[in-house]
Amino acid sequence: MKYAISDALIITKRQLMLLVRVPEVLIFSTIQPVMFVLLFRYVFGGSISSGQPGGYVQFLMPGIFVQTVAFTLAGTASGVAEDMTKGLIDRYRSLPIARSALVFGKTLGDSALNIVVLLVMGVAGFIVGWRPHSGFFKLLFAFIFLLAFGYALSWIGIFVGLTARDARVVQNVSFLVTFPLTFLSNAFAPTTGMPKPLQYFAEWNPVSTMVAATRQLFGLTNKFGVTAGSYPSQHPMIMSLVYMIIVMAIFVPVSVRTYNNSAKKK
Amino acid sequence: MKSVLAEHLIKTYRKGHVRALDGLSLDVEEGTVLSVLGPNGAGKTTVVRILATLLVPDSGNAVVGGINVIAHPEKVREIIGLSGQYAAVDETLTGWDNLIMFGRLYHLNQKQAETRANELLERFSLTDSARRPIKTYSGGMRRRLDLAASLIVKPKILFLDEPTTGLDPRGRQEMWEVIEELVKGGVTLLLTTQYLEEADQLADDIVVIDRGKVIARGTSDALKRQVGGEQLEVVVDHHNIQATVEIVARVSGAKPVIDEGLRQISAPVSTGAVALIEVLRSMDGAGIHPLDIALKRPSLDDVFMSLTGHLAETEPEVEMTKKRRGRKS
């Protein structure tokens, strides 16, 4: 299929046009994380001892970045679910385009949204005192790493969106999954204060490995409690990459197949 | 040549508990319009979805434009247009954006897509609203844009699934005009509807389906004849009823039905207009003035009633969906 890529890019373009036509989406996608930055920085931050030079905000920003890209899952899922209920997916499926085009286009479009959101958050972080000092290339790499994580998760989102019965349920289900994952992690507070069993959970939690990896790339040192010697604690980048590969290996084929067999639910 | 051919299609849902299609066969001659008429849940949408490559039947055969739908769906997609029950266009984008996007997805280049979008907007009287988001459109405009999107590459074969469901009378009339124009242009059309009037108005041939099966097929006129001939109805003043009954009985040869309240006498006639003239002549000779006289053909509603034993409106779709869902989950 020589058109597979250009078809996918047309769908991506549609996603981007939506952002221009409905700027509210972009505004609300950025307001929430910015609120989190302010909330944790000024409300909880004073009571959390991160032990980071430069203060809690250095510790916090990687967590917020990861949380934000993790929420891509919900965004993608509800977008797909909406297209399903409106019959748009049926229309795409009746077009002579590559069957993978729509799902690839969607995931790429949602990643493009993430670029903008991460930029806005970076600026917000800088304003409240976030100063990464690992150099431009490591910083750039950290953001690419974050985008990759969001991209992998949006494939789960495609699957959730296609299989959910109702567009309204999707949002709730996605949050039910991503919320505990982001909080039962090292994103907002060091895991050292958690009960031991929870520390083990947090250690293997992909959100934690991502946050630890991002902190490393921002030039911070990670602190662990009982799990300090474990593989995910020692090699958060490799572990995160492994998670991404696992997610993609499962959900790319599964989502493409679900899309091919999907029928609009009436 | 048959542009669309479906043979013995069977499609079941929920592990065979619901038989959406139960050995359904139909065909559409090239350049003609076939209307698939049936109540909600009869299987209309399922047929369209199978023919438009969106759904694979459990068994049976489907050929569109000479191409086997099940074996080569991707080739079928290149020659068909589909417009579903829902206006499947992006609401947040403008009409123009939608047509360009779909044009590009049909692999027109940007310039071709623009030219085609302009043509279609013009033809469907949407040029003025082209730059407005679809969500500001009326139901009729949305449907027209949806239809326009399915016509981008000038498909020879078009499937319209309940194109006017949910539209107000004006929107329906506009949609009919657009469809009639398309048909004049030589497109082969398969259209589903639950409006008997719509099938009558637009289609060359009608198949009536119920519970996944074809229960009748023919032209609108042939279907009406199947139910019975024409009915002569005369309304006269009370004191003329007796005399008129005698005249009608003589012409019809059957015993007329008298409705005292409406002062109406009716009887089946086999000679149509000739019988009408005969009755009028006799009434004139007897000095009776008819208050009203008409030759009534049975409506497609009557057809449906006599074919299925129940009225066309069975269960509203919404309730059916709820029930189905309830059982599923």
Instruction: Calculate how close chain B gets to A93, using CA atoms only, in Å.
Output: 7
Q: What angle do CA A252, A257, A262 make, to 5 degrees?
A: 125
* pLDDT value, residue A1: 59
Residue B107 at interface with chain A, using a CB cutoff of 8 Å: yes
pLDDT-derived band at B220, boundaries 50, 70, 90: confident
- CA distances B180 to B138, B145, B223, Å, are 21, 16, 22
- Give the C-alpha separation, B214 to B24, whole Å: 6
If you average pLDDT over every residue of chain B, what do you get? 85
Among B residues 137-196, those touching chain A with beta carbons less than 8 Å apart = 149-150
* pLDDT value, residue A86: 81
CB count within 10 Å of CB B127 equals: 14
CB count within 10 Å of CB A30 equals: 20
Residue A21 at interface with chain B, using a CB cutoff of 8 Å: yes
Query: Residue B284: in which H helix or E strand, if any?
Result: helix B273-285
* pLDDT value, residue A234: 87
In the predicted structure, residue B327 carries a pLDDT above the cut 80: no
pLDDT digits (tens, 9 = 90+) for A161-183: 998 878 788 888 888 888 889 98
* pLDDT value, residue B310: 64
The complex's ipTM works out to 0.81
* pLDDT value, residue B18: 83
* pLDDT value, residue B300: 67
Residue B322 structure tokens: 């709820």
Distance of CA A146 to the CA centre of its chain: 7
- CA distances A84 to A88, A216, A264, Å, are 6, 40, 6
Sign, CA dihedral A232-A153-A178-A57, equals positive
pLDDT digits (tens, 9 = 90+) for B150-205: 999 889 999 999 988 888 888 888 889 989 988 898 899 999 998 888 888 899 99
In the predicted structure, residue A43 carries a pLDDT above the cut 70: yes
Residue B202 at interface with chain A, using a CB cutoff of 8 Å: no
pLDDT-derived band at B322, boundaries 50, 70, 90: very low
- Give the C-alpha separation, B90 to B200, whole Å: 32
CB contact under 8 A, A94 and B89: no
Residue A2 at interface with chain B, using a CB cutoff of 8 Å: no
pLDDT digits (tens, 9 = 90+) for B236-291: 998 888 899 999 988 888 888 888 888 889 888 877 788 889 999 999 998 888 99
In the predicted structure, residue A265 carries a pLDDT above the cut 50: no
* pLDDT value, residue A62: 94
What average pLDDT does the segment B112-131 reach? 93
pLDDT-derived band at B319, boundaries 50, 70, 90: very low
In the predicted structure, residue B329 carries a pLDDT above the cut 60: no
* pLDDT value, residue B227: 66
Residue B89 at interface with chain A, using a CB cutoff of 8 Å: yes
Query: Residue B296: in which H helix or E strand, if any?
Result: strand B292-296
pLDDT-derived band at A220, boundaries 50, 70, 90: confident
What average pLDDT does the segment A57-77 reach? 91
Residue A244 at interface with chain B, using a CB cutoff of 8 Å: no
pLDDT-derived band at B317, boundaries 50, 70, 90: very low
Give the best residue of B69, B74, B98, B105 to mutate against chain A (max A CB count within 10 A): B105
Q: What is the pTM of this model?
A: 0.78
Of all residues in chain A, the percent with pLDDT exceeding 70 is 97
Which range (A18-22, A35-39, B95-99, B199-203) has the least confidence? A18-22
CB contact under 8 A, B329 and A165: yes
Q: Which of A14, A21, A266 minimises the CB distance to B101? A: A14
Which range (A104-118, B27-41, B101-115, B287-301) has the least confidence? B287-301
